[in-house]
Amino acid sequence: MSQADAPRRATIHQVARLAGVSHQTVSRYLRQDGGMKPATRLQIDSAVKALDYRPNLMARSMRTRRTNRLAVILSSTQYFPHRLVLAASATAHERGYQLDIVSAEGGAEQRAQRIADLADSGQVDGILSLAPADVPAGGRVPVLVSGTYDEEMHSLGELADGSAVSEIIEHLAGLGHRTFFHLAGPQTFASARNRKIVYLEAIARLGLRSYGVVDTDWSAQSGYDAVVGLPDDCGVTAVIAANDVLAMGAIRGAFSRGWRVPDDLSVFGWDDDEIARFATPSLSTVIVDREAQGRDAILHLIAAVRGEPAPPTTTHNLNQVVHRESVAPPPYQP
């Protein structure tokens, strides 16, 4: 049955007639306006139940000029933060918003154009971009880009990234590692940039050596290639990868050239992918609270949409380092 043929839903006018009040009173009832006699409310209550009335959200949006819809922008290639998206979706629904998933293909400027179009279209009240994007301020609706800083210099919980990278390097240094290598991921991602900054800072602060930092994509192949491409005498004993997929590629690259992990090379990942936990060697990584990130991001966006002050970000540390088999003291080096 096509929707157009379906029997129509009841409208406020029908509810009003059945309840013996005016349509405006029903509207007030729906919007919880307060100021109704209990008797009136009860009558409307039962009329609503009797007619199985539900407000037509299209009509409401049309009049209020608010859509109660938000969009999430994703870059279609690689890296789909599904836990974050599901948490974002759940949070949005809790607050009475629908969430559209929009994948933005193409390069950075194409993506920016797509976002600008969407912002301008009047179809959504706000946009959360999980893909890196340079969005000009002052559009019709708020646009939040994940991981970038707002005016108060609070990121969407990703500020805490830094401490975990520091913690990892300190741990590795404690095991005796001296020469590090960083697979940094795409530097268009704010979170990747943050981690790289903290990596460099920690290396310098602790007087360690970084053999290099490679800006990669998010693919395992890139991790593989980067490690395979290291010179034999580079002295690297520890790799810190920007995510688990890169890290798995790095481990495989090490195997392919005869390096054992963790005996010859220690590898750290990021994200705690389920598969990496069960790989051999199991991957040392960082557990990220994606649910909290998704929730925080949507709450920020909703606040921006409503013109309210930004809500407090989840305060507990989002990131937790877990130690597994892919890390060990470095081999003896004469």
Q: Which residues bind DNA (CB under 7 A)?
A: 8-9, 11-13, 16, 20-28, 30-31, 34-37, 39-40, 53-56, 59-60, 62-65
In angstroms, give the least distance from the CB of 45 to a copy of itself.
19
Site for a copy of itself in 124-153 (CB under 8 A): 125, 138-142
Question: Which partner in DNA, a copy of itself, none is near 25 (CB below 5 to 8 A by kind)?
Answer: DNA
In angstroms, give the least distance from the CB of 39 to DNA.
7
Read off φ and ψ for residue 170, nearest 5 degrees: -65, -40
Site for a copy of itself in 250-289 (CB under 8 A): 251-252, 255, 273-280, 282
Q: Based on CB atoms, which residue is closest to a copy of itself, 9 or 205?
A: 9
Is 12 a residue that touches a copy of itself (CB under 8 A)? no
Q: Based on CB atoms, which residue is closest to a copy of itself, 36 or 228?
A: 228
Closest CA to 193 of 151, 249, 244, 149: 149
Closest CA to 123 of 63, 73, 76, 61: 61
Applying CB under 8 A, which of residues 33, 94, 105, 134 lies at the interface with a copy of itself? 105
Is 115 a residue that touches a copy of itself (CB under 8 A)? no
199 vs 195: CA distance, rounded Å: 6
Q: Based on CB atoms, which residue is closest to a copy of itself, 142 or 185?
A: 142
In angstroms, give the least distance from the CB of 151 to a copy of itself.
15
Residue 179 tokens, joined: 């020469």
Options 174-182, 200-208, 230-238, 249-257: segment touching a copy of itself (CB under 8 A): 249-257
Q: Based on CB atoms, which residue is closest to a copy of itself, 102 or 197?
A: 102
Is 185 a residue that touches a copy of itself (CB under 8 A)? no
Positions touching a copy of itself (CB under 8 A) are 1-4, 6, 9, 54, 56-59, 61-62, 64-67, 74, 76, 80, 82-83, 85-86, 89-90, 93, 98-103, 105, 120-123, 125, 138-142, 219-220, 223-224, 244-245, 248-249, 251-252, 255, 273-280, 282, 305-307
